[in-house]
Amino acid sequence: MTYAALKKRQELILLDCISGSTAYNLNVAGSDIDKKGIFIMPQKQLYGFEHTQQIANDNNDEVYFEIGRFLELLTKNNPNILELLNTPREHVLFRHPLMDLIKPEDFLSKLCEDTFAGYAQTQIRKAKGLNKKINRPIDSERKSILDFCFVVYDNGSIPLMEWLKVKGYRQEECGLVNLDHFRSVYLLFHQSQIAEGWLKGISSGPLADDIQLSSVPKGVEHLAVMNFNKDSYSVYCKEYKEYHEWEANRNEQRYQSTLKHGKSYDAKNMMHTFRLLNMAEEIAIHHKVIVKREDRDFLLKIRNGEYEFNELICLVEEKLENIKIAYQKSTLPDKPAVHVAEKVLVEIRERYYKTNNNLYNL
């Protein structure tokens, strides 16, 4: 089953809805129109090898879940699935009568604390990462291990590159020997001290991920003691890779919007973070999923960059504490009853295929 095939087989669609910002009451000028829905596999394909769980168009702004996959995700309190099931009536384009067998209240549980608030915290980590990337950009020229080496000098330490400059040495002319009982600490020698043989240098090249050791004859006095901060170098390599991957793949329109409001965070990302947190708290207190947001003004202020990043993080921490307390007090079950979902799935399939038995061979 493909997106194109489903669009030609409208009788397979059980639910078709406008979703995203429009359903949330958060759409603004230029907002995209997204759609989500539910379909049922033709019986023959269900029994065969062509079972499809989820389909989408090329832009991924129209997504449809097969009824079995939908109910499976519902038992996991997936936010997208609960939002789809609770789409406001004015944004429901089509709803098959069989959908009445699925009662939202049968599936809400304390898992929503993890799925809604947990997903929100993932978005916060992304927002913090973006904040860091904007305020601490990483140069395109990659540092080498030599930038993370330091030499004991004048009752302190100086960067290796500075020490080499003072001495008039090149790193290729130097060699290192392990200093026993000290992690990542080495004795440093220069080729001028060695009568026979050659030192290997400190680094094999700009892409080396560790220093290299040389053989030094006994009795030669070292010129300096050097430390290679390998942990810092590993952190730098990870951040360098992540930064330049983000730079290459970032949504340029959203990035420019972030720069425009000058708050150094993805405002749209943070808006949805608070939407999810508020929904999580509402589920615990009111036992229902409120898709259409009455807190539109507050959420759009976030989107417009009217709050400082640190101010939002403080609000998040306060909200998370309130959510924790709300779920401790909530009478919601710990998790949905899977057997109820399975019973509903069987009944929907039996009743649909019985009514549409002419679809078996299609």
* pLDDT, tens only, 25-36: 999 887 889 999
Residue 257 in this model has a pLDDT that exceeds 90: no
Element (H, E) at 149: strand 149-153
Written as one letter, the residue type at 51 is H
Are residues 47 and 182 both part of a single domain?
no
- Of the candidates 273, 279, 319, the one whose C-alpha atom is nearest the C-alpha of residue 112 is 279
Are residues 99 and 116 both part of a single domain?
no
Are residues 327 and 346 both part of a single domain?
no
- Residue after which a domain boundary falls, among 230, 265, 289: 230
Taking 3-state DSSP, the helix, strand and coil percentages for the chain, each rounded to the nearest 5, stand at: 50, 15, 35
| pLDDT score recorded for residue 248 | 75
Are residues 68 and 167 both part of a single domain?
no
Element (H, E) at 343: helix 338-355
In this structure, are residues 349 and 70 in contact, taking their beta carbons and an 8 Å threshold? no
Q: Is residue 37 part of a domain?
A: yes
Q: What is the residue-averaged pLDDT of the chain?
A: 89
Are residues 129 and 89 both part of a single domain?
no
Are residues 263 and 184 both part of a single domain?
no
- Of the candidates 23, 20, 13, the one whose C-alpha atom is nearest the C-alpha of residue 88 is 23
Query: pLDDT band at residue 283, thresholds of 50, 70 and 90?
Result: very high
Are residues 226 and 196 both part of a single domain?
yes
DSSP 142: P
Residue 46 in this model has a pLDDT that exceeds 70: yes
User: For 9-37, what is the mean pLDDT?
Assistant: 93
Are residues 219 and 309 both part of a single domain?
no
| pLDDT score recorded for residue 48 | 79
The number of distinct structural domains making up the chain is 3
Query: pLDDT band at residue 171, thresholds of 50, 70 and 90?
Result: very high
Are residues 190 and 120 both part of a single domain?
no
How many other C-beta atoms can be found within 10 angstroms of the C-beta atom of residue 47? Answer: 11
How do residues 96-127 score in pLDDT, each as one tens digit? 999 999 999 999 999 999 999 888 777 777 66
Does residue 77 sit in helix, strand or coil? coil
Q: Which domain holds residue 303?
A: 110-137+251-332
Q: Is residue 279 part of a domain?
A: yes
Q: Is residue 122 part of a domain?
A: yes
Q: Is residue 245 part of a domain?
A: no
**Looking at residue 24, which CATH number applies to its domain?**
3.30.460
Are residues 11 and 79 both part of a single domain?
yes
Q: Is residue 244 part of a domain?
A: no
| pLDDT score recorded for residue 358 | 56
Q: Is residue 278 part of a domain?
A: yes
User: For 298-319, what is the mean pLDDT?
Assistant: 90
Give Cα 50 to chain centroid, integer Å.
Answer: 31
How do residues 264-275 score in pLDDT, each as one tens digit? 577 888 898 999
| pLDDT score recorded for residue 106 | 93
User: For 221-242, what is the mean pLDDT?
Assistant: 93
Q: Is residue 207 part of a domain?
A: yes
Are residues 73 and 10 both part of a single domain?
yes
- Residue after which a domain boundary falls, among 230, 260, 284: 230
In this structure, are residues 289 and 84 in contact, taking their beta carbons and an 8 Å threshold? no
Residue 135 in this model has a pLDDT that exceeds 80: no
Are residues 122 and 161 both part of a single domain?
no
Query: pLDDT band at residue 193, thresholds of 50, 70 and 90?
Result: very high
Does residue 155 sit in helix, strand or coil? coil
Query: pLDDT band at residue 338, thresholds of 50, 70 and 90?
Result: very high
Q: Is residue 238 part of a domain?
A: no
DSSP 208: -
Higher-pLDDT residue of 361 and 282 is 282
